[in-house]
Structure 1
Amino acid sequence: MELFGRRAEKAALDTLLAGAADGAGSALVLWGVPGIGKTALLEYAAGAAPAATVLRCRGTRMESGLAFAALHELLWPVMDRLETLPAPQAAALRGALGMSRDTTNPFLIGAAVLSLVSGLARERPVLVVVDDAQWIDEATAHCLGFVARRVAADPVVVLLTGHEDPASGPWEGVPALEVVRLADADARRLVDAVVPAADETLVDRTVRAAGGNPLALHELPTLDREPDGEAALLPSGGPVPVGPRLRRAFCARVEGLKPSARALLLLAAAEDRGDRHVVHRAGSGWGVDASAWDEVLRSGLVRAPGARLEFRHPLIRAAVYDGALFLERQAAHRALAAALPTDATAERAWHLAAAAEGPDEEVAALLEQAAEQCLERSAGPIAVRTLRRAAELSPTPAAAARRLAAAARAAWTAGDAAAARQLLEDAERLGGEVPVARTSGGLRGILEFAYGMPERAHRYLVCDMAVVPEPRRAVELGTVAVRAAWSAGRPDLQQEALRQVRAVDTGGDPDLSELMPVLRNWWSCYDRTGEVTPSSLAPAGGTVGRLATAACELLPPVPLVQAWGIEGGLLDVLHVQAAQLRRRHELAALAAALSQTAVLDLATGRWGAAETAAAEGLLLAEEVGADHVATQCRSSLGALAAARGDGRAVAEHTTRILQVSVPRGVRALSASAYWHRGRAALLDGRPQEALGDLLCLTEPGDEAAHHTFALFAAVDTAEAAVQVGKADVAEAQVVLLEEWAQRTGATWARMAGHRLRALVRSGSAAETSFRAALDVAGEGGHPFEYARTRLLYGEWLRRARRRADARIQLAAAAEVFDHLGAEPLRVRALREQALTERPAAARVPDPAAAAVGLTAQELRVARLAADGLTNREIAAQLLISPRTVGHHLANVYPKLGITSRAELARIDFARGLRLSAAGD
């Protein structure tokens, strides 16, 4: 059997065995709680001494009263060696072993065993192994203690195991080593070996419950009953279930105590907090007196530091509780409930629940009250467990359904979506959809929006708005319904939800009455009637800022805020929300807030912060099973990868996004994936491929069609269209952005509109548009897009032979790209900048240009490259791919004996073309 961990223990045993091999004897007592691995260490020692004579015995309770029973087992294999002993010793040992009627003299018996072992050791080393020494009979124990203290001169190792520190008793004076719990890493390896296919939840739960006890680590993962079963009744989870071998081992020790001491142990096991005073008061009616306390404390099973009671190992507590009869446990819980102070509502409720035999409304109500207290102190998981138990004790299906619905809400708040969904389904089965929607606050729609299909979520949310009793909750559900419709790319459903939100009666709630105009004004940006003005939504107007104190459900989706250009105050709002959610340990909502924060950080050039927020949000979302939020985080990571030129990461993230978004109809996420793929292809010099991905965002009915993301992607779509010569497509993107900029006045849209107009214009009109794009006030807050504008303008200036002006724009763009880590565009800007620095000297005729064997196509590519065009620009003119352009240039350079484009500029390709034509 493989031993996991145990490096210190194995080293100690190896040292003893090595000493025996060199002729020195020793003894060691390995002690610790049952199941801690002492027997496994004995097996290790026996396996590590293949050349030794091994004598074994094991103590048992049934034979603990039979004098020399263990010694008989130990010496049975070598009984024939009795004849080698001196006559008095042999006679005494025969009498002890029942082989004669000779009188047994303890000293002679000990001396006989020592002589026997020493005689065997003259032939080969001897290993004496005594397991469960606490159960061997007293006569054998004294005999072996005598031997263990006297083997130093012979190659003999005596190993014993027991439950107690052998500081006194028969092993007094024998060296001892406590075997302690396994480290968590070793415990996890052991569980993996026991149950190779175990999931992480089972491994974590087992390691936590076993407390490093190897036997428990073997037994717990394979128990038939669930860990939330009968034994797990108390708020913290109660005593964990214990397997049969551990239960027998611990209970055997308990059975040796007198009844009052056993009663005290059961009360201590059932009392969850280790409160000595409560146990003392509860035990006063059970005959628990001072002698019972003394006996329990002397047993070593329990310690009493100060006012606390602590079991020496968590599994002792579990075994004591699990080994008691159900009626005994009931009585213990009732006694503890009566002994609690009046303000201990939760503890009393749990003890009464543990003692309940069937439905009990009074106890269920008390549990419900305790759950509310748990929620007030953000103890969500305990509240869920408490409400579930309250539902079990509820006398009517309606009451059970109400409590299960409340448990579902608590589970959702705590970040356990799977439990929330299951609890909600159980509640609906008992009480119907409408009552459960009322109790849970419309949770089914929230869950569906976070984990399922947005169109179905919209349907649930709109229906439940009319069911929930609180107007504020109705508004929250309505705003989430608007977001669900936006995620699905369904303007018609957006309008339906907006009508519902505007129609909510505040019911006299002053806070809601003040908030409603803000919300109505904000959500109006969803419809395209033009009734809202950008100034009313701007940070100065306070709309976004005033949402900071509202529920996180009321916050709008960040991409839409960005589209309107009013995101200035939203980042602060999200930071406030995230801090509050972190304090309340609301993991699902915190993950959502981080995913939105990443989007804003990305747009404003804080790429490091964006990556940190997206990575943490992804980790949290995956932990709580929030698929959609995890996908939103992947979208931000995909956008970063595209800008950084990491094609592999782009492919990985967008594939994972589409696996979630397409089957569920989340077009906003699908659109983001196609946008990132398109941008990555564009920056990599593959405009045709980029255009194929980007146009999906504008195709009605496409799985990625989404108006908001089509707006953002228009800057890439138009640039790709220009590169492949599709002027009509580029013009359509320009018009789309110009109309949006006119409607919203958004800074980013005005800059992008001017930039795209410059791409489709020529001459002075193009420069006017470039200058207008760079002059848009506030566009410096979007450094990546601003630098892209400078790059395009610099390239235009270089082609216009205005190299000095071009260098200014290109150098500034390269600096920003370098700071951000946008490698593809940094390289492009530096390459363009290098082309502006070549001397303007006249070209030197080179009549050898045609003679070296350039093909016609190679001459065309070389001539355009010499004129300063990029590979993509050459490809667009010659209707070939940029990769083919690179291939031709790779052939041109060695044929001409040059290494750079700068040298190309000095060659008279016009003459070379004439020579080539004459040769043809």
Structure 2
Amino acid sequence: MELFGRRAEIAALERLLDRAAAGAGSGLVVWGEPGIGKTALLDHAAGMASGATVLRCRGTRMEAGLAFAALHELLWPVVDRLDTLPAPQAAALRGALGLSSDTANRFLLGAAVLSLISGLARERPVLVVVDDAQWVDEATAQCLGFLARRVTTEPVLLLTGHENPAPGPWEGLPSMEVAGLADEDARRLVDAVAPSADRALVDHAVRAAGGNPLALHELPTLERETDGALAPLLSGEPMPVGPRLRQAFCTRVEALKPATRSLLLLAAAEDRGDRHLLHRAGAGWGVDSSTWEEALRAGLLRASGARLEFRHPLVRAAVYDGAPFLDRQAAHRALAAALPANATEERAWHLAAAADGPDEDVAALLEQAAEQCLRRSAGPTAARALRRAAELSPVPAAAARRLAGAARAAWDSGDAEAARQLLEEAERCDGVESVARLSGGLRGILEFAYGMPERAQHYLVSDLAVVPKARRAVELGTVAVRAAWSAGRPDLQQQALRRVRAVHTGADPALSELLPVLRNWWSCYDQTGEAAPATPDLAGDTVDRLGTAAWELLPPVPLVQAWGVEGGLLDVLRVQAAQLRRRHELPALALVLAQIAVLDTTAGRWSAAEAAAAEALRLAEEVGADHVATQSRACLSVLAAARGEVRAVDELTTRILRVSVPRGVRALSASAYWQRGRAALFDGRPQEALHDLRCLVEPGHEAAHPTFALFAAVDTVEAAVQVGSRDGVELPVEMVEQWARRTGATWARLAAHRLRALVRSGPTAEDSFRAALAVEGAGSHPFELARTRLAYGEWLRRARRRADARLQLAGAAAIFDRLGARPLRARAEREQALTERRAAPRVAAPPTAAGLTAQELRVARLAADRLTNREIAAQLLISPRTVGHHLANVYAKLGIASRTELAGIDFDGDLRLRPPETG
């Protein structure tokens, strides 16, 4: 069939098909208003893919509430290929398709569909076509979204037709809007559909349809069939498909006999195309063989075996919306009665559609259906069922309970905004305290993940007193402590900690064993030193014993790093990530991945860290988790700073502060300032670095935070030494040394010795450098170890111990190169080059023959090597302004005026200009 006015769209589809055939797979959302031609374009693409395996499915309004209904239609033609999958994936997919009783694990199911499609693609390219995606059930949509984002290296193309690519499972995929036809193309279409139509009718149709192909196809035909009854409709202004076109379809339906109209209404209400079910439901409506014949002959329905479908979804919408409410009720009741006994979900939805007021029986049936959805990890469908059950609940308390359950289901499936709205509705039904108890304190968890940490702490502390289970109370209390830590509020931390200590474990032996460990951890972590000191063994034991606990009980990663027990936490987090993937709890999974990324960064696994942070960021953005997304950006900024990606650091930290500052998340604000300072320090701008780093200890500053101030002390001292400012450096040195004595953390001992070396002079400095390199386990912090070797190598070079310096500098450069820390690698290599020069001639006493002081001579040599003032300053640990002052003296004493002339000076002779080279 010819498509009018779609040359650009067809060309785009051809390019994607060609790319897929070449192994560059992708997904595309083809979107636009109803009737605009999306289905025609998808059909055209399927026709062009003659050498490909084509799999198709279409969403339907009634099946939108049935988990994996569309997936069943899509994969049924290749269900015999399930045996080619790994056993766990095959089991998950069989469970989703109703072929077994296995649980349809969401993450494993996505992997199974990906494996199945990839296997098909090894034989020939695969085209997956999903029409009317707005009606595809959530479980299938999320599964196919997972597929579309992971076929970039497979000969697979996934095309989706959608009315509106709103945020959801398809978010992030490329999209192509299908707009209305231009007037010229619209007229060509009308001429092809109704070649005998007069010019006035064509003009009316083009003007009324607004470029919508379905309207252009139907209106002229209906005008003739209704003897001009549509003429008034055709005289309006251009408009999208809406009430007028629906009225046009209704005009055709009203011309049919009552039994046929009843059959069409049943089909519109059933929405699955099950001809056998419609036959049973229509038995009491006078539906017989002649009724079926008329319905099919009218062209509104099409039959394929036992399946029925409307010619276009708009026809179904027109039939259903145009029927009186009492008729729609009767249709749904008839369909519910005709369903088999085990079709609980379908019956519940039909009875819910038929209900016109509170009905506890139907509400209970919907609640039962929601429980089945939760067992299949179909959280969005469960939330939808529970919300409808709440609407039908005659008692406010029952409505609140169901709305709270819907909020939990929405939160677990990643829809935080829906969870928040559902909680608010529940609170209007039965009060805040009741809903806190019913939802397990969800409002505080939501606020912690998306809002203001101080407010989250308030909610969590209040709600832990009303939740029925002691374990949940401890979880809420622990998150409250974390929220206060995030806000940089030690007073609120202590308040929450007191509430955690007061929780009675009751008859839970596991909690009785775990609670003292948690109390010890939170009692000793405080950096102020006011609490009783704890040993690293105690801290490590705490982390190790949290491996089987909920993610809410895990302490913040920076605190665990500060204690130096992150090795145990990494194992715990990996266990948590695997569990959360299996349960498809996306918000919590994103949080855990962000924390794994932090630990991998510290351990020098930068590629793994970047992958984890990127996945966490994508998941967090998909579910709208602002704080987790910001944490992910913070980890990426750590990597960018070390890699010398200054622009990336600026962009990432700007986005971090845009979220963290208004909400008072000082932990994130401090991280942003810290990474800005490190980026400037590594880039040879120590004065700028110092400006940002000192904010972390400035009382009342938006970035003031004790934990991050402790970490940033290392960079603060180095920046101060480089600019020649020793004011205030003793305090951060002592802070790190005190923490090292208190915890024995490897990073702290390494840093303490290095900082002491930087601020000392003479042999004592070398003692500190050697002590730093001798710290047991220093290799587990490769970046900081390399920074220590770099600083030691620079000290050795300045002491003219070139051979020793080369050894340290080479080791530092190798680590920086492996990690990808380009600025520090370049600095180490420059220092290495300086160690390979012949020693400068010794003079009897300063100044030199030309009157240069020793420092001026060092500056002159580096400038002659074409180092910039900033680079010279970094090498000699002085400020760029001091470098400029020394160079001005050098020029005056040598009688030159530029660096070009300086490059011609013979520094190994009597500081005279070398003779120009002759060819």
Distance, in Å, in 1 between the alignment partners of 2:620 and 2:466 is 29
Residues 685 and 882, structure 1, Cα contact 8 Å, conserved in 2: no
Instruction: Give the match for residue 238 of structure 1.
Output: none
8 Å contact from structure 2 (residues 452, 664) kept in 1: yes
Distance in 1 (alpha carbons) for counterparts of 2:763 and 2:864: 24
2:386 corresponding residue in structure 1: 387
The answer on whether the counterparts of 1:465 and 1:478 sit within 8 Å (CA) in structure 2 is: yes
Q: How far apart are the structure 2 equivalents of 1:207 and 1:690? A: 40
| Aligned equivalents of 2:762, 2:378: Cα separation in 1 | 67
Q: Is the 8 A contact 2:212 2:241 kept in 1?
A: no
| Cα distance per residue 1:351-397 (max 9 Å; x no partner) | 11100111222222222222222222221221222222122222233
Distance 2:472 2:689 in 1: 44
The question of whether the paired residues in 2 share the 8 Å contact of 1:182 and 1:213 is answered with no
Aligned-partner Cα distance in 2 for 1:377–1:191:
28
Q: 2:538 aligns with which of 519, 536, 546?
A: 536
Q: CA deviation at 1:704?
A: 1.0
Residue 481 of structure 1, CA deviation = 0.2
Aligned to 2:694: 695
Task: Name the counterpart of 2:873.
Answer: 872
In the other structure, the counterpart of 1:440 is 439
Spell out the pairing of 1:348-497 with structure 2 (5 A cutoff).
348-497=347-496
- C-alpha displacement of 1:324: 2.1
Q: How does 1:688-767 map to 2 (within 5 A)?
A: 688-767=687-766
The farther-off stretch of 565-574 and 293-302 is: 293-302
Whether the aligned pair in 2 keeps the contact of 1:388 and 1:407 (CA below 8 Å) is yes
Q: Which runs of 5 or more residues in structure 1 are unaligned? A: 12-32, 42-179, 193-197, 221-240, 913-920
Q: Specify the alignment match of 1:895 in structure 2.
A: 901
Matches within 5 A, 1:715-864: 715-840=714-839, 842=841, 861-862=859-860
- Separation in 2, partners of 1:317, 1:743: 72
Determine if the alignment matches structure 1 residue 584 to structure 2 residue 583: yes
Residues 857, 810 of structure 1: alpha-carbon distance in 2 compared, 3 angstrom cutoff: closer
Structure 2 equivalent of residue 106 of structure 1: none
Mapped partners of 2:211, 2:889: distance in 1: 66
One-letter amino acid of the structure 2 residue matched with residue 263 of structure 1: S
State the distance in 2 between where 1:580 and 1:201 align: 23
The Cα offsets for residues 807-855 of structure 1, whole Å up to 9 and x where unpaired, read as 111111111111211111011000000001112363799xxx999x999
> Is the Cα contact below 8 Å between 1:843 and 1:907 reproduced in 2?
no
Residues 35 and 213 in structure 1, CA contact (< 8 A), matched pair in contact too? no
Match of 1:682 in 2: 681
Q: For 1:651 and 1:836, how far apart are their aligned partners in 2?
A: 35
The Cα shift of 1:343 comes to 2.6
- For the residue of structure 2 that corresponds to 1:532, the secondary structure is coil
The equivalent of 2:87 in structure 1 is none
TM-aligned CA deviation for residue 320 of structure 1: 2.7
Change (3 A) 1:904 1:563: farther
C-alpha distance in structure 1 between counterparts of 2:573 and 2:887, whole Å? 47
- When residues 648 and 242 of structure 1 are mapped into structure 2, their CA distance, relative to the original with a 3 A threshold, is same
Distance 1:885 1:478 in 2: 60
Tell me if the contact between 2:180 and 2:213 (Cα under 8 Å) persists in the aligned partners. no
Are 2:621 and 1:619 equivalent residues in the alignment?
no
Within 5 Å, give how 1:211-222 maps onto structure 2.
none
Residue 321 of structure 1 and its aligned partner are, at CA, apart by: 2.0
Q: Distance in 2 between matches of 1:711 and 1:327?
A: 70
**Structure 1 pair 274–500 and aligned structure 2 pair: CA distance change class (3 A):** farther
Q: CA deviation at 1:881?
A: 5.8
Mark the CA change 1:469 to 1:905 in structure 2 (over 3 Å): closer, same or farther: farther
Larger radius of gyration: 1
Report the CA distance shift for 1:337/1:823 in structure 2 as closer, same or farther (over 3 A).
same
- The higher-RCO structure (CA 8 Å, 6+ apart) is 2
In the TM superposition, residue 544 of structure 1 has moved relative to its aligned partner by 2.2
Partner of 2:561: 562
Structure 1 pair 431–877 and aligned structure 2 pair: CA distance change class (3 A)? same
* 2:631 alignment counterpart: 632
CA contact (8 A) 1:537 1:544 kept: yes
Which SS does the other structure have where 2:839 is aligned? coil
CA distance in structure 1 between the aligned counterparts of 2:403 and 2:162, rounded to whole angstroms: 37
Cα deviations by residue, 1:260-305 (Å, 9 ceiling, x for unpaired)? 3332232222124443333232222222233433444455544454
Query: Matched residues in 1 for 2:253 and 2:349: separation?
Result: 26
Partner of 2:108: none
Task: Give the whole-Å Cα distance in 2 for the aligned partners of 1:505 and 1:878.
Answer: 60
Aligned position for 2:74: none
Q: 1:665 to 1:257 in 2, by over 3 A?
A: same
Note the alpha carbon deviations across 1:527-573, whole angstroms, 9 max, x for none: 452353211222xx3x3233232222122211111111111122232
Q: What is the Cα-based RMSD across aligned positions, in Å? A: 4.2
User: Residue 653 in 1 paired to residue 652 in 2?
Assistant: yes
SS of equivalent residue, structure 1 residue 880 = helix
Equivalent residue, structure 2, for 1:510: 509
Opposite residue 468 of structure 1, the aligned amino acid is: V
Q: Quick one: distance in 1 between partners of 2:814 and 2:427?
A: 59
For the Cα contact (< 8 Å) 2:656–2:669, is it kept in 1?
A: yes
1:190-205 maps to which residues of 2 (within 5 A)?
Answer: none
Unaligned runs of 5+ in 2: 14-32, 42-129, 135-156, 182-208, 215-239, 892-896, 914-919
Distance between the aligned counterparts of 1:208 and 1:329, measured in 2? 36
Structure 1, residues 669-689: CA drift from partner, whole Å, max 9, x if none?
111011011111111222122
Cα separation, 2, equivalents of 1:201 and 1:345: 27
The answer on whether the counterparts of 1:793 and 1:806 sit within 8 Å (CA) in structure 2 is yes
The CA deviation string for residues 41-96 of structure 1, in whole angstroms up to 9 with x for no partner, is: 9xxxxxxxxxxxxxxxxxxxxxxxxxxxxxxxxxxxxxxxxxxxxxxxxxxxxxxx
* Secondary structure of residue in 1 paired with 2:545: helix
**In 2, Cα distance between equivalents of 1:796 and 1:2:** 76
Q: Could you tell me whether the CA contact under 8 Å between 1:758 and 1:766 is conserved in 2?
A: yes
Q: 1:208 to 1:275 in 2, by over 3 A?
A: farther
Q: In the TM superposition, what are the counterparts of 1:176-325 in structure 2 within 5 Å? A: 243-297=242-296, 299-305=298-304, 307-325=306-324
Q: Take 1:208 and 1:386, find their aligned partners in 2: how far apart are those partners?
A: 30
State how many pairs are aligned: 717
C-alpha spacing 1:369/1:874, structure 2 compared with 1 (3 Å): closer
- Distance across 1 between alignment mates of 2:604 and 2:762: 32
Distance change in 2, residues 1:728/1:579 (3 Å):
same
* DSSP-derived class of the 1:544 partner: helix
Alignment check: 8 A CA contact 1:417 1:447 kept: yes
CA distance in 2 between counterparts of 1:203 and 1:764 reads 64
Partner amino acid for 1:894?
T
Asked if the contact 2:666/2:703 (under 8 Å) is kept, the reply is yes
* 1:783 positional shift: 1.1
Q: CA deviation at 1:190?
A: 12
CA contact (8 A) 1:861 1:874 kept: no
Letter in 2 for 1:534: P
Q: Distance in 1 between matches of 2:7 and 2:582?
A: 37
Amino acid at match of 1:530: A
What's the CA shift string for 1:732-777, capped at 9, x where partnerless?
1111111111111111111111111111122222112111111112
Residues 728, 897 of structure 1: CA spacing in aligned structure 2 closer, same or farther, 3 A cutoff?
Answer: closer
> Quick one: distance in 2 between partners of 1:295 and 1:206?
43
Separation of aligned partners in 2, 1:706 and 1:797: 35
Distance 1:516 1:715 in 2: 35
Matched, 1:522 2:521: yes
Q: Is the 8 A contact 1:207 1:217 kept in 2?
A: no
